[in-house]
């Protein structure tokens, strides 16, 4: 059997349980959650797979952007509650239960270096909704809907969405969303500022690819540095502090690289820049 080839320096990590990877555009990877019979619910093994993919994305110099979507009628229904129930019965030690596993919600709590775009093809519930809240851009199908139904199951949305929602939609909307457990439409999420675009279902991935291409054509160093500045500002309330951290870390490294020189030279010469691999 021949070894598959990839448009990357390093092959992606194995994803036998949950994910399918493809490369729809230069410097872009499409990560598809592929457990449609279970509404793309995430087992612990699936979460480990996803954690490995995001680690690989940040280290892979030939990738700048990822897109995540789902197969079937769901983006993701969140954690596999059947497995969670079984872990509650099997493990008396709370630290070993599913909700406390190290990879739990590997995207909703991810900081990372490179942007991830959510292409929400259907329902995004629980942990699936928490994924969306932490993505850098979101494209949603017209019939997609979102919810944090954890309160209905005696648990809580503890994968990072609650404090992030406050920063995006405010205290009162976040409280209504999380405490009532009601479903919210794609259009309402657009009005709240969580979703960038609402499109027909058959266009959700292609629109996400267009956004990814619009990002990936730029300097890999500048993408990482700009995202870091945005994230610092989102994660903290101190604007000047966020600027200083980015200046001292990502921007300092950006200035040591070839891409800043190439970008400025290309502008002066009125041509398209030829970017090098990122050193950040």
Say which residues have a Cβ less than 8 Å from residue 74's Cβ, sequence separation at least 6. Answer: 36, 39, 40, 121, 122, 123, 124, 125, 128
Does the pLDDT value for residue 189 go beyond 50?
yes
Same domain, 190 and 102: yes
145, 183 contact by CB (below 8 A): yes
Taking each helix axis as running N to C, give the angle between helix 220-235 and helix 239-246, from 0 to 180 degrees, rounded to the nearest 10: 150
In a domain, 102, yes or no: yes
- The C-alpha torsion from 205 through 115 and 20 to 18, rounded to 10°, is -110
87 vs 179, more confident: 179
Same domain, 187 and 104: yes
Same domain, 212 and 230: no
In a domain, 190, yes or no: yes
- CATH number assigned to the domain comprising residue 137: 3.90.226.10
Residue 193, pLDDT score: 97
Residue whose entry in the numeric block shows the structure tokens 């996803």: 50
Residue 238, pLDDT score: 86
Active-site annotation holder among 79, 140, 141, 212: 79
As a whole number, the mean pLDDT across the chain is: 90
Active-site annotation holder among 60, 130, 207, 250: 130
pLDDT, tens digit, for every residue of 11-32? 999 999 899 999 999 999 999 9
pLDDT, tens digit, for every residue of 238-253? 889 899 999 999 999 9
In a domain, 245, yes or no: yes
Active-site annotation holder among 70, 112, 127, 257: 127
Say what the pTM is: 0.91
Does the pLDDT value for residue 1 go beyond 50?
no
Same domain, 198 and 232: no
Please give the Cα distance from 218 to 114 (Å, whole number).
Answer: 13
Same domain, 166 and 87: yes
In a domain, 259, yes or no: yes
* Domain ranges, residue 211: 19-216
Same domain, 193 and 264: no
Domain closes at, from 216, 240, 259? 216
Domain closes at, from 180, 201, 216? 216
Same domain, 80 and 103: yes
In a domain, 1, yes or no: no
In a domain, 277, yes or no: no
Report how many domains make up the chain: 2
Does the pLDDT value for residue 88 go beyond 70?
no
Is residue 79 annotated as a catalytic residue, yes or no?
A: yes
- Phi, psi angles (nearest 5°) of residue 220: -60, -35
pLDDT, tens digit, for every residue of 208-262? 999 999 999 999 999 999 999 999 999 887 889 899 999 999 999 999 999 999 9
Distance of alpha carbon 131 from its chain centroid, rounded? 6
Same domain, 224 and 207: no
Active-site annotation holder among 49, 60, 150, 207: 150
pLDDT, tens digit, for every residue of 34-75? 999 999 998 888 888 999 999 999 999 999 999 999 999 999
Is residue 257 annotated as a catalytic residue, yes or no?
A: no
Same domain, 196 and 231: no
Residue 33, pLDDT score: 96
Same domain, 229 and 97: no
In a domain, 9, yes or no: no
DSSP 69-117: EESTTEEE--B-HHHHHHHHHH-SSGGGSGGGSTTSSTTTT---SS-EE
Is residue 66 annotated as a catalytic residue, yes or no?
A: no
Does the pLDDT value for residue 105 go beyond 60?
no
Domain closes at, from 172, 200, 216? 216
18, 50 contact by CB (below 8 A): yes
Same domain, 212 and 227: no
Does the pLDDT value for residue 279 go beyond 70?
yes
Residue 153, pLDDT score: 87
Which range among 36-45, 80-89, 199-208 shows the weakest confidence by mean pLDDT? 80-89
Does the pLDDT value for residue 204 go beyond 70?
yes
Same domain, 174 and 260: no
Please give the Cα distance from 54 to 13 (Å, whole number).
Answer: 10
Mean pLDDT of the region 134-148:
97
Q: Which of 242, 220, 274, 267 is nearest to 63 (CA)?
A: 220
Is residue 248 annotated as a catalytic residue, yes or no?
A: no
In a domain, 6, yes or no: no
């Amino acid at each position: 059997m021949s070894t598959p080839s990839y448009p990357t320096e390093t092959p992606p990590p194995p994803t036998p349980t949950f994910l399918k990877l493809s490369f729809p555009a230069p410097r872009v990877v499409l990560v598809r959650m592929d457990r449609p019979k279970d509404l793309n619910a995430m087992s612990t093994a699936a979460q480990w797979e996803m954690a490995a993919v995001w680690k690989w994305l940040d280290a892979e110099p030939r990738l700048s952007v990822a897109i995540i979507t789902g197969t079937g009628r769901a983006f993701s229904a969140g954690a596999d509650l059947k497995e969670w129930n079984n872990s509650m019965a099997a493990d008396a030690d709370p630290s070993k239960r599913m909700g406390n596993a190290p990879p739990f919600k590997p995207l909703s709590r991810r900081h990372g270096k490179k942007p991830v775009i959510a292409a929400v093809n259907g329902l995004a519930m629980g942990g699936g909704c928490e994924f969306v809240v932490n993505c850098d851009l979101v494209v949603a199908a017209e019939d997609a809907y979102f919810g944090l139904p954890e309160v209905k199951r005696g648990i809580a949305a503890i994968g990072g969405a609650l404090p992030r929602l406050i920063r995006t939609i405010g205290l009162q909307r976040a409280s209504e969303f999380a405490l009532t457990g009601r479903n919210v439409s794609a259009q309402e999420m657009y009005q709240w500022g969580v979703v960038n675009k609402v499109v027909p279902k058959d266009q959700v991935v292609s629109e996400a690819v267009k956004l990814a291409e619009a990002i990936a054509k730029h300097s890999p160093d500048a993408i990482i540095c700009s995202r870091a500045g945005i994230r610092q500002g989102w994660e903290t309330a101190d604007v000047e502090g966020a600027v200083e951290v980015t200046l001292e870390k990502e921007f300092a490294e950006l200035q040591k690289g070839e891409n800043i020189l190439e970008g400025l030279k290309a502008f002066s010469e009125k041509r398209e820049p030829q970017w090098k691999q990122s050193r950040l």
